[in-house]
Amino acid sequence: MNISQSGPMKTKLDWSAYDNDGQADAYAQIPAQGGAYGKAVAVCIGNRQCQRDEKGVMCPSYRVTHEVKHSTQYRAATLRAALDGELGTRPFISEELTAAMDLCVGCKGCKRECPNGVDMALLRSEALAQRWQDLGHIPLRSRLFAHLPRLAGTMKYLNPLYTLREKLPVLAILMERWLGIAAGRSLPRAAGHDFLATEPATTISAGDGREVVLLVDTFSNYYDPQNAKAALEVLHAAGYTVHLARPAAGERPLCCGRTYLSQGMIDEARAAARRMLEALWPFVSRGLPVIGLEPSCLLMLRDEYYALDLGEQVASVAKSALLLEEFLAREHEAGRLNWTLKPLPGKVLVHGHCHQKAFGAMKAMRQVLGLVPELQLEFIESSCCGMAGAFGIEAEHYQVSMQMGELVLLPQVRAADLDTWLIANGSSCRHQIRDGAARESQHLVQLLRLAISP
């Protein structure tokens, strides 16, 4: 798109939340083009909190490189220059903007830890969408990663190929040259069965009939069905009747749209989100909570759905959406958990997903794990694990991905005793721990299932 000659920039996402002239003092150097998107860029006032090595999430790429050009502040400044016409007539495919955005992992740390709440992950998605529009096509690898929810049902048939890839390094090298998938990275194995294919739409507990909706994401359905199964057991033990969120009969399983949004495919993300809203609305309109297991999936309902221009239902769904640990912590405080947890003597080392940290969900995780008698908790004070969805699988990002993990997470995992439970709720985080420390970690729900077992 030629910004300087084709008139006002037409954005793919809805940035109207920033289009408030009455808050002009909150913005710095609003670009000449971009409208409300430009104002979202101008939220960065150059505070440079992103250029630090202290505790917190932000900014993983700066912490690894210690280069200003890989910080949130620099990305915002480069976007501002692009919208001001300083990077040519096709700024979204310029070398400067491409390099600035290259190491953004979409961790959302800046949205929480930046004093002004810069949402670089969302800004990046818009920039990617504009890039694909200017290029006239979307690269094959980006399309493959984005379409994972559609492809996941067939992935179990590729497991033998992945085994062969591990035995024949030349195959991994060829895949890297063809698709840009890092030869040194393992590929996740799909389970032999899909969770939703074997479970009824509603499962009834022996409790008092309180109802909840369990949102089984793509990874919990196809790759880690044991987590969805454990969630059912935990919720039943706590006295809840569980509805499984499903689309209309005959349609493919639901998807939050995260993979599409991360790859800049906004129309596809919006279509996936609409399907999600349609499936959830009958439950949400009745006041039922929607419970999720994968942080990046569930929290998209509370965050990015507002930018997809989906209508008034978004606010109600967002208020109903809770991570499992958030729901259990809330119910415990209200005295509504009808369960008894047995002691689990031992130590637990917990790594929080970036989005859990960015949305303040780690407190709930600590509270729920603290309900298990005799459990000793230790939380890893780390930034992003480095996997960040597809980021750590991409050949050009593999080394940086591992360096992010080596800052704090992987050394602490390696140092942990072999009988220490390792908890990581993000599927990408578990993948990174497996590759980088040769240890298996689990979702919090697996430990809770152990505590409720007879």
d(CA 349, CA 54): 20
DSSP symbol at 88: -
Q: Which of 50, 55, 114 is nearest to 380 (CA)?
A: 55
- SS3 assignment for 8-38: CCCCCCCCHHHCCHHHHHHCCCCCCCCCHHH
Copy the structure tokens of residue 179.
């698709």
DSSP-derived 3-state class of residue 154: helix
Return the residue matching tokens 């809840």. 240
What is the DSSP code string of 276-321?
A: HHHHHHHHHTTT--EEESSHHHHHHHHTGGGGGT--THHHHHHHHE
Structure tokens at 316: 């109600």
DSSP 4: T
Class of domain 339-452: alpha beta
Residue 180 structure tokens: 């840009």
50 neighbors 56 (Cβ within 8 angstroms): no
pLDDT along the chain (454 residues), means of 10: 57 91 65 91 88 85 94 95 94 96 94 91 97 96 96 94 93 95 95 92 76 96 97 94 91 96 98 97 97 97 97 96 98 92 96 94 96 96 94 97 96 96 97 97 97 84
Of 153, 226, 186, which is closest to residue 393 (Cα–Cα)?
A: 186
Q: CA angle 313-317-321, nearest 5°?
A: 170
**For residues 337 and 306, is the Cβ–Cβ distance under 8 A?**
no
Residue/partner pairs of 358-362 with CB below 8 Å, 24 or more apart: 358/57, 358/107, 358/108, 358/109, 358/111, 358/112, 358/113, 359/108, 359/112, 359/299, 359/302, 359/303, 360/112, 361/295, 361/299, 361/323, 361/325, 361/326
**Which one, of 355, 352, 331, lies nearest residue 424 by Cα?**
352
User: How open is the CA angle 390-360-242, to the nearest 5 degrees?
Assistant: 80
| Helix (H) or strand (E) run with residue 338 in it | none
As given in the structure block, the two tokens for residue 392 are 């750590």
Residue partners of 365: CB distance under 8 A and separation at least 6: 325, 350, 352, 356, 425, 444
Nearest Cα to Cα of residue 396 among 182, 140, 86, 92: 182
Looking at residue 311, what is its pLDDT?
Answer: 94
Identify the bridge partners of residue 351 per DSSP, sorted by sequence position: 424
**Which residue in the block uniquely carries the two structure tokens 């063809």?**
178
**Do 209 and 302 contact (CB within 8 A), yes or no?**
no
Where are the domain boundaries for CATH 3.40.50 in the chain? 339-452
Asked if 290 and 316 touch (Cβ cutoff 8 Å), the reply is no
pLDDT at 20: 72
- 271 Cβ partners below 8 Å, 6+ apart? 257
Q: Provide the token pair at 193.
A: 């069965």
pLDDT for 21 equals: 52
- The one-letter code for the residue type at 33 is Q
Quote the Cα angle for 312-148-361, to 5°: 55
Answer yes or no: are the C-beta atoms of 274 and 301 closer than 8 Å.
no
Helix count and strand count (H, E) for the chain: 24, 8
Residue 375 belongs to what H/E stretch? strand 375-379
Q: CB–CB of 93/131 below 8 Å?
A: yes
Strands 210-215 and 290-292: parallel
